[in-house]
């Protein structure tokens, strides 16, 4: 029976806390916007850690450009961040870091707008039906 709070879960949370501070205070890239780490998933063998982030970017650029640029910056800095993590955490194995843009917020907003559109159309149909019956 698996543990409720496994070693990989604890390691994921620790990596998320430490990386968030390192990205905020140590990375000095001016192209980097305000990055939020949403989730860290560590492989069972602790070989890799997939880090999911969102970003608030600069004006004048499209969201897609900001996402791609931020993902590239973070993946380019992954080696440095990994070595700093190894120094801080003092674990025997420090996972390789892979950064991915977290699309769950975008998908959630899109689904919310679709639901709102459907309910508005449904309400408009019901209102039209009631108006037809009243005549």
**Mean pLDDT score, 80-97:** 92
Pick from 14-23, 49-58, 121-130: least confident: 121-130
Q: What is the rounded average pLDDT of the residues 24-40? A: 90
**Among residues 29, 18, 14, 38, which one has the least CA distance to residue 99?**
38
Third-level CATH fold of 7-102: GMP Synthetase; Chain A, domain 3 (3.30.300)
Cα 17 to its chain centre, rounded Å, is 14
Indicate if the pLDDT at residue 92 is higher than 80: yes
Residue 40 or 90, more confident: 40
Give the model's confidence band at 1: pLDDT under 50 very low, under 70 low, under 90 confident, else very high: very low
Tens-digit pLDDT profile for residues 59-88: 556 788 888 999 999 999 999 999 999 999
For the chain, the domains span: 7-102, 103-135
Tell me what pLDDT residue 4 has. 63
Average pLDDT over residues 42-49: 93
Distance CA 20, CA 23 (A): 5
Residues 40-57, buried b or exposed e (16+ Cβ, 10 A)? bebeeebeebbbbbbbeb
CA distance 90 to 82: 12
Residue 65 tokens read as 């450009």
């Amino acid at each position: 029976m698996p543990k409720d709070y496994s070693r990989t879960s604890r390691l994921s949370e620790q990596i998320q806390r430490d990386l968030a501070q390192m990205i905020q205070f140590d990375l000095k890239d001016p192209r980097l916007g305000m990055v939020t780490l949403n989730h860290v998933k560590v492989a069972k063998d602790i070989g890799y850690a997939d880090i999911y982030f969102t970003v608030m970017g600069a004006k004048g650029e499209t969201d897609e450009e900001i996402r791609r640029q931020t993902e590239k910056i973070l993946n380019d800095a992954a080696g440095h961040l990994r070595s700093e993590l190894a120094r801080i955490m003092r674990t025997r194995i420090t996972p390789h870091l892979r950064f991915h843009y977290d699309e769950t917020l975008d998908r959630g907003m899109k689904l919310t707008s679709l639901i709102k559109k459907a309910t508005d159309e449904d309400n408009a149909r019901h209102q039209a039906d009631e108006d037809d019956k009243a005549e």
